[in-house]
Amino acid sequence: RKEVEQDPGPFNVPEGATVAFNCTYSNSASQSFFWYRQDCRKEPKLLMSVYSSGNEDGRFTAQLNRASQYISLLIRDSKLSDSATYLCVVNLSGGYNKLIFGAGTRLAVHP
């Protein structure tokens, strides 16, 4: 089983749509969780950290379910500029700064 699993997509959605990405992780002792965004041929950029209580940043909402070992990202009112690959990232406990990246979910927003 992969340590971090994501649906690779692609998700093709029209502008203004709401889209949700899911991610599962295998290590129940994982402590920190993130969503990164990576544009084509560019470096990953931190989108948001994921807190236990869930958190929101503008059109983006992240949720964490520790019991199910599941992380989600919701994007509301999609923009063309949201087109990118979204990476689910988990910080393993014990390796206190060892991030494990999922393979990413590709999002394509069309007019």
Partner 1 sequence: ETGVTQTPRHLVMGMTNKKSLKCEQHLGHNAMYWYKQSAKKPLELMFVYNFKEQTENNSVPSRFSPECPNSSHLFLHLHTLQPEDSALYLCASSPLFGQLYEQYFGPGTRLTVT
Residues ≥6 apart with Cβ < 8 Å to 22: 6, 7, 70, 71, 72
CB of 85 to partner 1, least distance (A): 11
Give the one residue of 42, 59, 79, 110 binding partner 1; rule: CB under 8 A: 42
CB of 50 to partner 1, least distance (A): 9
Residue 90 in the binding site for partner 1 (CB under 8 A): no
Residue 91 in the binding site for partner 1 (CB under 8 A): yes
Return d(Cα 56, Cα 39) in angstroms, integer.
22
Return d(Cα 101, Cα 111) in angstroms, integer.
30
| DSSP for 80-95, written as a single string | GGG-EEEEEEEEPSSS
Binding mask 47-86 for partner 1 (x = CB under 8 A): --x-------------------------------------
Q: Residue 66 is encoded by which pair of tokens? A: 């520790």
> Contact residues for partner 1 (CB under 8 A)?
4, 31-32, 34, 41-46, 49, 87, 91, 95-104
